Structure 1
Amino acid sequence: MKEIVHFELVEASEASSSVAMEAMGFKRGLNYLLHMGVDVGVITTDRSPSIRKIMREDYSDIHHEFDPWHVHKSVMKKLVAASNKKDNQDLRPWLKSVSNHLYWSCSSANGDPEKCLQRWRSLLHHICGVHRWEEDGVEHVCHHPAMTEEQQRKNWLQVESSAFKALNSVVMDNNLLRDLKQMAHFKHTGSLEVYHSSMLKYTEKRLHFKYDTMRARTQLAILDHNANVSRAQGTTKEGQPRYRYCYSKQSAQWVAKPIYVHTQQAFRDNLVERVLKRREDPAVIYTEPLPRRQPRRRRLLQNIAPVPRPPKAFLLSRHSSRFKPYLT
């Protein structure tokens, strides 16, 4: 299921920073789902330290997974920077292969963290042309079929080379190896990223919205997303799937990306129809007052300042302009 089932709206005045706002909204949303009886077995997020701490201390009975895309982005950023150095040019042709290997290690682990780690570390053997090796007294082999010289178009790295040492420092990073154990189920947050992208149509960041307006626009964004979450890939007149082709600066290669059919806005017609039917309902009296808004969880400040504003006289007494002459 890729639909949005619940959302929380956090005002800037409720927390001390955007990081704290994210953690607050996360806890509110998760607590609401648990209170409604939703059985939450696995939660997938990015590697946010605040969310990681909340899951470890408050929801230890729920398995916490990391999205491989966020980890992949960090790993490839380090490898690209390393491959740009003069002594590590031999590493550049392998960047795409390393990227594929990271995803394969997570997707083929079947929920086993140790298998995920072992397959990720096997990269250091394969990239040197070693396809059978022994580790902790156990013999391992690469999972790909035997390769001919014609199939192997890239040069193997040498263990003593600077390129291999740079790769080894990234692959064997302790923080990465620790986080890989929480990627063995191969869970993604891609649908959430798609929703955040479509949400910008309704809640532009350059504009300011009041609380009620922001809530209504978020609800519209969710309706739009849920109505188009299962779009099929577009096809040509001949019935072939459509793709667009672009150049990836990171991998220095051309890649093909699927083109999906256009979004449908039929949910808007349904909303308008329901509004008109309600307007025509004689039982609805529009002179009655609007329902009272539910009270907030706590009294919010009128601005984002964490402390109340001092009296005006006090602020004026402390005011000084740098354009005034300095008095001794």
Structure 2
Amino acid sequence: MPWCAVPGCSNYKKAAEEGVIFHTLPSTDLPRCKLWLAAIKNDRYPVTTPAGKYTNIRVCSQHFVQGDYKRDMRADLLGERPRRQLSETAVPSVFPFPVRQKQKRRKPTPKSAQEKRSRAEDIPECSTAPVTSSPLKDVDTSYSCEVTVESYDESIRPETGSSDSSSGSDSEDEGDPDGWRGSKTIVYDKHIMQLFKLCQRCGRAILEWDVSQMGAQMRIKWSCYNGHSGTWKSCPDLGKMPEIDMLVAGSTLFTGGTYIQLEEWSKTLNLNMICHSTFYEIQRAYLHPAIDEMYKLQQNILMAQVYLKQLDDGDEAKGIKLCGEACTDSPGYSAKYSTYTFMLNGSKKILQSHLVQVKKNTRSFVMEAVGFERGLQEILKSGLSVDLLTTDRSPFIRKMMLQQFPWIKHKLDVWHISKGVHKNVWAKARKRDYLETFHSLLVKYAPKCQMFDYQGMQQRTHLAILDHNENTLHRRARKHTGELKLTRVYCRRPKQRVLRKVIETKTSLFREKLMQEVIRMRRGSRVKCEDPSGSPHKPSPPADIVLIPKPPKAETT
């Protein structure tokens, strides 16, 4: 359960009843993080707190005013409950709770030797017989002393109980939706087994243990000489599935990786990892639906923002300005997939994309025109009007614009024209081609050297769009004093070092949101990984792109 870092605030108890939400520190804006820490006045988190601990600090919504939140345009259009998202300048300012001050411990006053001697005489004498390992019921408890000891970490203690008991920490971690955010460490197996030499309940030696692996999770069943036993797990479970399996599969796909890369890395490190069937089951049942849901939500919000901007500017009839281009998974006439992308000229964000498979057409070079037509039709059906569209010099698209969309102004991209004009003009035009930048990002998530099915290719394209739209406009990095950061680089033409601006580091908040959605789907039991019909995915087109049917093996030469 998250808790508010403001001293004296306990609104985590009212989170479910009154709709109190918790905000994390704006880690991408370090000067504003220091303002937050200075405002909450928590001795545990001073202003000098390192940025690595910002993820553990949360402030509830009771400490912000209404003007600190952004307007939810999507909720206003659809009549839904607005999402409370803080603005870029929000700082907590409401503190109805008194700040608790630390109380200094007083040193005990020294006592005289006579007082110490008198207290020692009142203590009864204890037997000096050696302590045996007899059961506790045989011990004489007529004289007992109450001793206070420091509490120790219960997370490393194996749970004790009957032989069929399981780890008691699983239920607690499973109830915490933010438990997966905790820090994780790769530990040697032999070092883990050193913790299972003695029973932490009675201190006797552990008689036997059984070590097993379930995916990336390690399980140890143990029992000692006095009959105490239990089961220890290296991570909690999510509906009879290790939570680490979900996190490994999600982090691999959300960063553009594949199972082949994960398998090679884990084998080189000799690390226990999930098998390929588990990876693809999790991908089909949870990861792809989570990506698709987040992509659709982002595109609806982006279209709503564009429509509202047209209403505010009074240019609803004028329309928007777009640029489009296609990207295939392999060059030449052997391409299987083609992704046509439409980008807004102003904000440089991806408005729409359409994936086409060659099986639906006779030739691979026709896929660009098919993707262009379907993508543009979806934009027009959404209620947006297009005023200007810039594309490459494809003859199919130019003919389609003249016949089907004559009311839209059509222009050709200067980068494609400049390739045959002059080398310097081509270099200048290439610097401004943001679509080419997106295509290089798309190759990261969907490498051309590997083949994917239709759903895999589509969701990897959506991942590239989510990454691109989040990091479209990079702001210049600043120091903690507010000054711009500059770096010295060597320039070849003047043959000297020059100053260049430093751009802020890319963010990946969409991956954290996707991981939250995957954990929520698994906890809610909305989809079962073992049930093939439980995944809300579309049927994939046939993978075979050959037009001639496959003959029997006996007739094949």
TM-score using structure 1 length = 0.52
Distance 2:393 2:523 in 1: 51
Match of 1:216 in 2: 459
Distance 1:257 1:14 in 2: 49
- 1:174-323 aligned within 5 A: 190-234=433-477, 239=484, 241=486, 260-281=503-524, 284=526, 286=528, 289-290=533-534, 293-294=537-538, 302-310=543-551, 312=553, 315-316=556-557
- 1:21-40 aligned within 5 A: 21-40=367-386
Match of 1:3 in 2: 349
Q: Is the 8 A contact 1:233 1:241 kept in 2?
A: no
Please report the RMSD computed on the Cα atoms of aligned residues, expressed in angstroms: 3.5
SS in 2 for 1:277: helix
- Give percent identity, aligned residues only: 35
Match of 2:393 in 1: 47
- How many residues of Structure 1 are paired with residues of Structure 2 in the alignment? 203
Q: 1:243 to 1:39 in 2, by over 3 A?
A: farther
Matched AA of 1:192 = L
Q: Is the 8 A contact 2:476 2:485 kept in 1?
A: no
Distance 1:281 1:315 in 2: 51
Distance 2:360 2:487 in 1: 46
Q: 1:247 to 1:220 in 2, by over 3 A?
A: same
Q: Is the 8 A contact 1:55 1:64 kept in 2?
A: yes
Mapped pair 1:68 → 2:414: yes
Question: Structure 1 unaligned runs (5+)?
Answer: 78-94, 104-187, 249-254, 317-328
Distance 1:247 1:18 in 2: 42
Match of 1:172 in 2: none
Please list the CA deviations of residues 241-262 of structure 1 after superposition, one character each: whole Å capped at 9, or x if unmatched: 55866669xxxxxx99866333
Structure 1 position 278, deviation (Å)? 3.1
- 1:142-153 aligned within 5 A: none
Mapped pair 1:12 → 2:336: no
Q: Which has the larger radius of gyration?
A: 2
SS in 2 for 1:65: strand
Please list the CA deviations of residues 266-286 of structure 1 after superposition, one character each: whole Å capped at 9, or x if unmatched: 11111112222333336x363
Distance 1:29 1:274 in 2: 27
List 4+ stretches of structure 1 deviating above 6 A: 235-238, 255-258
Q: Is the 8 A contact 1:246 1:256 kept in 2?
A: no
Question: Structure 2 unaligned runs (5+)?
Answer: 1-346
SS in 2 for 1:75: coil
Structure 1 position 209, deviation (Å)? 0.7
TM-score using structure 2 length = 0.32
Q: Is the 8 A contact 1:231 1:260 kept in 2?
A: yes
Structure 1 position 33, deviation (Å)? 1.1
- 1:81-120 aligned within 5 A: none
Q: 1:293 to 1:259 in 2, by over 3 A?
A: same
Matched AA of 1:305 = V
Greater RCO (CA < 8 Å, at least 6 residues apart): 1
Q: 1:52 to 1:193 in 2, by over 3 A?
A: same
Distance 2:551 2:499 in 1: 59
Structure 1 position 302, deviation (Å)? 4.5
Matched AA of 1:20 = V
Please list the CA deviations of residues 109-135 of structure 1 after superposition, one character each: whole Å capped at 9, or x if unmatched: xxxxxxxxxxxxxxxxxxxxxxxxxxx
Q: 1:259 to 1:22 in 2, by over 3 A?
A: farther
SS in 2 for 1:201: helix
Distance 1:257 1:19 in 2: 42
Higher helix fraction: Structure 1 or Structure 2?
Answer: 1
